[in-house]
Amino acid sequence: MNNQPSNTAILVFAQTAQADAVHKSIAYHQKLMAELNGHVLKTVRKSGLDYFHITESDQHGDSFGARFSNAIQSVFEKGYEQVICVGNDTPQLTTLHIFTAVDSLATGHAVNGPSIDGGYYLMGIHAHEFDAGSFESLPWQTENLATAYRELQEDIGIISDNLEPLMDLDSASDLYQFVKGKDSRKCLINIIKHIFDENSQVYATQSDRIYQIVFSSPLNKGSPTALAA
């Protein structure tokens, strides 16, 4: 897609790897979070859309909902009529998801990209349908978010299109489940193999079993499917 709409922008609402290391258990490996940040930014740049990466230094508000709502509003205040919101914890996010969201927004529909855990990895929002107060009050960072957001959209009369569900990575347990998925493994390996050289061996403790699965053999030799649990 070469000719992107000038009235649509992407909001990457994601903390730096250093900040994520404080708030997410998965982020005990800061290099992994840095690679995930790099992955989403590369994907966003490939879309050709204007984008804004709002990290903790630019976020304002006393809660996650307030900070997210304020970030979205700041993009609308720049003159954009649609915003596509993404985070840094969904390695399977591709430009196809973004282009599909652009097409749906062009029809006047909102876009929901649901996460398997009950949240969202992508939200496509029109400025004229954005109610900052209601948005801020949603049960953010809980498994009830998707249900509450759909109910809010229905109450307002918003028509939305759904993207395929994807898995996001918030904990070591999420990472373990992600690696077990046959369609997910190559994506993750391609990201994290940049972190370690070909001779790296990571020995897992009971609490870090994910590392045993991912790094039990050199990352750049053989097919990723060989790591199936």
Rounded to whole angstroms, the Cα distance separating 97 from 101 reads 6
| pLDDT per position as a tens digit, 76-115 | 999 999 999 999 888 889 999 999 999 999 999 999 999 9
Contact 144, 187 (CB under 8 A): no
Checking if the pLDDT of 58 tops 70, the result is yes
Rounded to whole angstroms, the Cα distance separating 86 from 69 reads 13
CATH 3.90.550.10 positions along the chain are: 8-162
Sequence-separated (6 or more) residues with CB below 8 Å from residue 211: 202, 203, 204
- Shortest CA distance to 84 belongs to which of 135, 130, 132, 126? 126
- Which of the four CATH numbers 3.20.20.210, 3.90.550.10, 3.40.50.10470, 3.20.20.10 does domain 8-162 have? 3.90.550.10
| pLDDT per position as a tens digit, 143-182 | 899 999 999 999 999 999 999 999 776 555 555 555 555 5
Cα separations in angstroms, 78 against 6, 68, 134, 161 = 12, 16, 21, 25
Checking if the pLDDT of 5 tops 90, the result is no
